[in-house]
Chains A and B, each alone.
Chain A
Amino acid sequence: MELADRAVGFLLSFISLSIFTYYTFWVIILPFVDSDHFIHQYFLPQEYAILIPVFAGVTLLFFLCIFVGMVMFKSNKKKP
């Protein structure tokens, strides 16, 4: 059990660090690289740098609302 928790923690930190590195490269460093450089083929166009986080945030909020709603519904049902 403890090992599984540790593995999940390691996975979470690894995912967050890799996302941060990739996004920093994408947003901060890439505008200063020539547009015909080979590194550009590893990154999506600049518009997706806005679209993907916004989409992810909206999805997260959606699932959070559904979760909270379900919990409230269940607790309301239990009372009477």
Chain B
Amino acid sequence: MILLNMIRTEQCFSHLITCTMKHVVKILSILVTISAIWVGLLQTSIVPRSHTWLLPIYFVVSLGCYGLLMVGVGLMQFPTCPQEALLLQQDIMEAKEFLKQKGVDVSSD
């Protein structure tokens, strides 16, 4: 049983590693492509040099904008469940009553 569990954990772990590896490979390939295009633009100088030099900063700025946008969207659509919160508060009150009856001190603070 323990061996089976260990094997399962191992499988999970290796799956996680391959997942992150895939992600890393994806990000790296995107970076390499972008830098290849950039170097090509620099070498061929289709666009004036001073504008080609701006492109990496443009990518950094757009990455920052994307991060900020994702944080904003996440804040806007933050899932809340007020009914469940009410039920949880009721449960807590009930449990406190029960424990007080049994003589357990559960005063918070």
Contacts and interface: CB of A to CB of B under 8 A. Distances in A.
Interface size class of B (residues with CB under 8 A): 20 to 34
Consensus secondary structure, chain A interface: helix
Interface size class of A (residues with CB under 8 A): 20 to 34
Given A28-B58, A31-B48, A49-B54, A8 B75 contact: yes
A6 B72 CA distance: 8
Contacts, number: 76
B80 interface: yes
B57 interface: yes
A67 B72 CA distance: 22
Interface string B50-78: 11011101101110111011011111111
B79 to A, nearest CB: 11
Contact of B54 (A9, A20, A50): A50
Interface of B: 47-48, 50-51, 53-55, 57-58, 60-62, 64-66, 68-69, 71-78, 80
9 shortest interchain CB distances as A-B pairs = A9-B75, A13-B72, A12-B72, A9-B76, A16-B68, A20-B65, A16-B69, A16-B65, A9-B72
